[in-house]
Amino acid sequence: MRSPAMLNKIIPLTLAAVSLCAADRYLEKLYPEWGQSFEIDEMIYQEKTNFWDLSIFKNKRFGTVVAMDGIIQCTEADEGIYHEMLAHVPLLAHGNPLSVLIIGGGDGGTLREVVKHETVQKVVLVEIDGSFIELSKKYLPHLSQGAFDDPRAKIVIQDAAVYVKEAEETFDVILCDSTDPVGPGRVLFTSEFYGDCKKLLNPKGIFVNQNGVPFLQKEELHLTLENRKPHFKYVEFYLAPVASYVGGFMAFGYATDFKYRLSKKALQERLEKVTGKMHYYTPAIHKAAFELPQYVLDAIH
């Protein structure tokens, strides 16, 4: 899921996210001076709910495309890059994750990757809008691939900020697959939220979230780093190139109290126990993803 700018106590929203379905094209415009458009071969579904304005359509190049509130959320062609890197980097780093919390992720893509790990005994997915899960099952079955029916999965329809504040169970890994920091998603980028997540992590637990595109969202990168620092000993970022997220590399925030140092050999041994074929993730990519380009280093220092 996308994160164009930080809001409220973090960064005021100054960039309008506008979606335009003009004739047979869908225009995403996160920035006044730049945008991207997709040819609509078939509009599959459109609906405006209390939570978001949703469009699902077909495109020859990207397959099924999901857009929410004027922002491209995922495409069939490149969602595997995003979901694999969000899930497998922390799960394989941990090595023995028994319990996982997914915040957001109503499309089922992150859940699909998590249940590939046989060590995982319990996955709780907290989604604010249950209707989006049902729409995903109907129109985006290639994303979840039956993961919602996995007996280890528990689906909770609730505001995630409330859930992490009130929950008593703990987790080895927390994956925040949130939408933009507007409306319901705003609170998921605050220091208070990160602190609540930290309380739910077991010793050596890992928290990961999507953190925008650093080339265009440097302020977001820096301020989310500052919001996590009070709660975790090690706060880092890693990157992955997701083609439909304009602006270059997508950043993932990574936070833990335990410094994991794993060789490619160790990661490969763990990966061999994960079911299914990877589209993007490899142990070499895992390690290289934490090597940041200079413009990202400049943004976080």
> Residue 110: its pLDDT value, please?
98
Higher per-residue confidence, 219 vs 277: 277
Residue 213, pLDDT above cutoff 50? yes
In a shared domain, residues 258 and 294: yes
Question: In terms of domains, do 109 and 234 share one?
Answer: yes
pLDDT at residue 23, as a whole number: 57
Residues 131 and 215 in one domain: yes
> Per the domain annotation, does 47 fall within a domain?
yes
| pLDDT band, residue 89 (cuts 50/70/90) | very high
| Confidence at residue 183, expressed as pLDDT on a 0 to 100 scale | 56
Are 91 and 117 contacting, i.e. CB atoms less than 8 angstroms apart? yes
Residue 6 lies in a domain: no
Q: Is residue 2 part of a domain?
A: no
13 pLDDT more than 80: no
Residue 114 structure tokens: 């998590």
Please give the residue range of the domain that contains residue 142.
79-300
Q: Is 78 a catalytic residue?
A: no
Give the tens place of pLDDT for each residue, 120-146: 999 999 998 899 999 999 999 999 999
Q: Which class for 108: exposed (0-12), middle (13-18), buried (19 or more C-beta within 10 A)?
A: buried
What is the pLDDT at residue 178? 80
CATH number for the domain spanning 88: value is: 3.40.50.150
Please tell me whether residues 83 and 223 are part of one structural domain.
Answer: yes
Average pLDDT, the chain: 89
Contact by Cβ (8 Å): 224, 197: no
pLDDT value of position 223:
85
* 160 and 272 share one domain: yes
Q: What pLDDT band is residue 3 in, cutting at 50, 70 and 90?
A: very low
Contact 165, 129 (CB under 8 A): no
41's tokens: 């071969």
The pLDDT score that the predictor gives to residue 68 is 86
Q: What is the pTM of this model?
A: 0.91
Handedness of CA 257, 262, 266, 267 (dihedral sign): positive
Quote the pLDDT of residue 129: 86
Assess whether pLDDT exceeds 60 at residue 103: yes
Query: What residue ranges in the chain does DSSP mark as E strands?
Result: 18-22, 25-31, 34-39, 42-48, 53-59, 63-68, 71-75, 99-104, 122-127, 153-157, 171-177, 201-210, 234-241, 249-256
Q: Domain holding 61: CATH number?
A: 2.30.140.10
Q: What is the pLDDT of residue 231?
A: 98
- Which entry of 129, 177, 180, 196 is annotated as an active-site residue? 177
Average pLDDT on 208-235 reads 92
How far, rounded to the nearest angstrom, does the alpha carbon of residue 29 sit from its chain's CA centroid?
Answer: 20
d(CA 124, CA 131): 17
Q: Sorting pLDDT into bands at 50, 70 and 90, what band is 2? A: low
Angle made by CA atoms 75, 79, 81, in degrees to the nearest 5: 145
Q: Cβ of 3: how many Cβ atoms within 10 Å?
A: 25
Judge if 186 and 160 occupy the same domain: yes
Whether residue 95 contacts residue 70, with contact meaning beta carbons closer than 8 Å, is answered with: no
User: What number is the average pLDDT over the span 161-189?
Assistant: 84
Residue 239 lies in a domain: yes
How much is the pLDDT for 290?
A: 97
Look at residue 10 and tell me if it is in a domain.
Answer: no
Any idea how long the chain is?
Answer: 301
